[in-house]
Amino acid sequence: MSKRLQKELLALQNDPPPGMTLNEKSVQNTITQWIVDMEGAPGTLYEGEKFQLLFKFSSRYPFDSPQVMFTGENIPIHPHVYSNGHICLSILTEDWSPALSVQSVCLSIISMLSSCKEKRRPPDNSFYVRTCNKNPKKTKWWYHETLFTLSTTCRCTVSSPLCVFFLVSNR
């Protein structure tokens, strides 16, 4: 893990994706937790807004995906971002591959925000935030493509029958 993380850390420091910078203070004491400062891309709904992403790496990285979430006072209002900072993005869970990197995760998040046409929270935001695990990787996400609007809806499932009932009854 250390060599791979060190290599990715250097890549992020030396050649970060547009609008992203590594918060150097976040890596002074540990290499397994990073904060990446992000600025909304020009010409998007998030232009000029500033966000922070928290990356946490397990000892199994890169075989396991990093835990990634928005943190801080400004969490983007987006259909795939919950108000607690959890991000519904398939490459952070079931579509993760060791071939992916911190850079590719950052680019995917930039793309996700940049393609947003309307600022709104996921439909199950309040319920999810009240009932979810603190670790977003413990959430089972449903990715549902809507053919007519070409948008993706994210819904959580947790081991609570109430949540499953809520999600199924609100489809």
* Residues belonging to the active site: 88
For 56, the 3-state DSSP assignment is: strand
* Span between the terminal Cα atoms of the chain, in Å: 41
Between CA 26 and CA 168 the distance in angstroms is: 40
75 neighbors 126 (Cβ within 8 angstroms): no
Half-sphere exposure of 92 (CA within 13 A, CB side): 29
Instruction: List C-alpha distances in Å: 73 to 18, 51, 52, 85.
Output: 22, 8, 9, 10
Residue 147's CB: how many other CB atoms inside 10 A?
6
> Could you write out the DSSP letters of every residue in 124-157?
THHHHHHH--SSGGGSEEEEEEETTTTEEEEEEE
